[in-house]
Structure 1
Amino acid sequence: MEVRLLGEVEVRSAGRPLVLGTPQQQVVLAVLVVNARRPVAMEALVDRVWGDDPPASPRPVLYAHLSRIRGLLRQATGPGGGAAARMERRHAGYVLEIDPESVDLHRFRRLVEQGEDRPGDDAARAATLAEALDLWRGEPLAGLPGAWAAQVRASWHQRRLDALVRWAQAEFRLGRPGAVISAVPDLTAEYPLAEPLEHVLIQSLHAAGRGAEALDRYGVVRRRLAEELGTGPGEELRTLYRTVLAGDRPPPGPASVTEDRSDPAPAPAVAVAAGPAPAPVPAAVTDEASLAVPDGTSHGAFVGASFGSFAGASVGASAGASAGAPPRAGGTFRRRALLAALAAAILPVATTAAHALRRDECGRGHGDGPPAVSVERAWELFATAEAFDQEGKAHDARAAVVDAVWVSEELVELAPDRSAPALAPAVLRALGRAGVDFGISRSALLDRLGDPVRTPYPAISHAILLRGWRFTAPVFLDAVVRNYEHTPGPASPRHLADVHTDTLKAAVLESTRTRHGTRTTEFDQLLAP
């Protein structure tokens, strides 16, 4: 006899499925199986089946379900059915006596615990966890109604995610990133906000020499977290991002990544083979080395050189060039000239400040750890977004702005007094393209955008840009900040993560009413279609 709960509820005897009856009867059976060898009180069964809306006389209905389940168990453990299972009535409630190894859910738990007991043996751990993950056939208790079934699903999904992360980490430590790269991408669709899972995938891509894909993956995660949660990646993921940017590629474990001759534990069966490598990544993930400004090089010379190579290598690909296809000469040169012109307009900042920031806070020298993101990278991304805007590529422009905002956030966190003033002109120009105006002098606004410690202007500006809003009528930034500050509840934000989306929308809506005398009641009415 075999009972399956990790998917649709099934009871199999001699390899064939048995008829389980109504969904309510399946809930009763599932409750007894989940609590195998432990008594379940009648009151608990009523609650699991009907929740807060039980019938007037639930016990007779339950007795009928239990009687049919007894008959099902006799049928399942008949000749050729395998180990016996029986249901007993005890003082504390009903008990299902069944071998836990015949239940996929309990076998999964045992294998996961066994894997946890092998901290020093990654090969055994990976194999055991892979065996546990192979037991999953889909959503636990699929199709069963009620709050109890939903709670069980959520709990076991978390256990599966934990096991998956530990399996991937073990494979990575064994120097087998290919197994992770094959299995994990399809599973991230089920757990789109699981940073530990994304962390080990990015690690594996980097270790396998696929740094561009690793950086592209980080950009996807960053945008997803911003859109779904209004926040950014955690410190561990951001530290990994800086490591990938540095370009170093140490092996992940004792085995060689480029010459992996060991036999990997099989990837979980839920994964499929990895598809073809994605096309070259957009400008957000160009190699960090190409952005370095040599000492003694003028800012103008740097802009001309870096934006020229940047346009030819990256922007063409992200604008739609297929992988491996030669770029169109006319488009490449036109885009190169456009980016150079935009750079001259966007970057009226002192080269010395950028160099100092890069050396002191972001570069940290080649011997002191991996270099972090640079002011030049943020400028480049803002300029790229404007180029895409001028070409009518709104989606690409938004993606470049999102990357620029996250790079700016990291720079502001590393060195607020130096990076924020250097980035303020580019931020202001991006706000203008989004339909954000201002009612104070430009110099005063730049001072406030350059002061993230004492004003909320940088955090609120980054929040507006990150969400990709484009306003049909001018929205005045100083009015938005004032309204946000006067809203009861949230404190004056100094970091992007502290900006409340609902409060920001209300502040924008109120600023348009005050400035333009409109009667708009819905925030979405302010946005361009």
Structure 2
Amino acid sequence: MDFRLLGEIEVRSAGRSLDVGTPRQQVVLAALLVDARRPIALETLVDRVWGHDPPANARPVLYAHLSRIRGLLRQTAAPGGGAAARMERRHAGYVLDIDPELVDLHRFRRLVERSADRRYDDEARVAVLAEALGLWRGEPLAGLSGAWAERVRESCHRRRLDAAVWWAQAEFRLGRPAAVISLVPDLAAEYPLAEPLECVLIQALHAAGRGAEALDRYGVVRRRLAEELGTDPGAELRTVYQTVLRKGPPRSAGAGAAPRTVGPGPLRPWAGASPSVVARHRPDPLPAGDAESVGAPSGTGTRAPARTAAPRPGSTGTPSPPEAPPGHPDGAATDPPSGRSRVRTTRRRVLLAVLVTVVLPAATGTAHVLRREAEERDESDAPQVSVERARELFAAAEAFDEAGRERDARAAVMDAVRLWDELIGLDPDRDAPALAPAVLRALGRAGVDFSVPRPALLGWLGNPVHTPYPAISQAILSRGWRFTAPVLLDAVVWNYEHTPGVTSPRDVADVRTDVLKAAVLENTRTRHGTRVTEFDRLLRP
């Protein structure tokens, strides 16, 4: 059997396509497939199907859809008595009990995640990413409407763009610019403001001896950014342009060059707002609801939204400390040594070039210094460099804040949050403990404190798989909220998770603004006894 979401909803069994029903029924089926093997509360299903305005008879209609989906799943049994997919009703909600590998969306995410394995060389990485990109048949959840379906589509497009950039970069490093030139233009047409795609395409054109086309391509992109966003190309794209303009040697790895073994890292596919399918990315700032704005891509390392035990309210009206998630430190965070050999090289990955050239906005005036430092480092040290850059960003935000430069402080926090999100997605055990203290200081400046022991909180902030603390903290920091009176982070998380019909978020894109605001309001009422009903009244002017 095969369940397909990357295009029109389709269920195939024994070589035939089954009837998936009406669009509304397809939304219910898609909601179950996206969270395969995880329970979904009935209220969550209602929210995914109808949003915040369900009809009065939402539950009976939903039960009817679920009944028809059960009938559909019975048809997935293999000829000769093979097991069919099953839907069960458990205490926590409805569960679609199938192997996630049978769902193209989950296969796609797994392949993109696998491509980040540093043990892969570029040949293996190209093959894995090509397989992932080949799963796309069109617009994800095509024909389905609603806010939830749109969020899923946007998440899929972000991951697809990440995969496309990494694939093109790997092909280019392998000395195959023709492969990049043949496929990237079509992708760039779908994502016209994705600068990393344009960077690798311009490099490929130059390496193929088509320098005039490369320069023309840059001019087209520059005009597009100016007309649509009122901004100039980013630092990396400008550097590529200068290289082509000087008619310097192509940056291709060249035929016969040894394949490079560095996996994809956190990039910045968008320099500004993107087209409708990818316009909302990392919060800069986030609009109402779950939308994201422009920034670093989702990266790899899909986070399983497994629910963990939440804090319980104590006698003071605030949650008592929950147990620390398994596998995470309860002590002070330290940077583990790399343990890898340091072999200097003259060519830097696009990852480092992007990170260090945009680490601090123009206000800091230090981009060229950071870039030169990165060029002196070995590529195997890239994750550690990224951790150091994230620390620098948080420190810069603190310095700007103390100097009264609120706009610069917010910009630095935004970039720090994006990089933090990417690092804990790639390797939370290694990267998160080193950043957690800086995150706590940033939360403190925003008026967010906590009542649980600091070592436990450090662990929770680095565990996006088991706790919602990273996602909720990122949402608060990226929105630039600064509270007039301290709010307890653990109480806010507890209030959020216990809101009826809400799924505990494991990604900042899943944090619902309305629920988060209500959770903060409830905390101020229980902790300070306020009667404030408007969230904006809690914020500093």
Superposition TM-score tier, normalisation by shorter sequence: 0.3 to 0.5
Greater C-alpha radius of gyration: 1
With a CA cutoff of 8 Å and minimum separation of 6, indicate the structure with the bigger relative contact order: 2
TM-score by length of 1: 0.48
More helix by share: 1
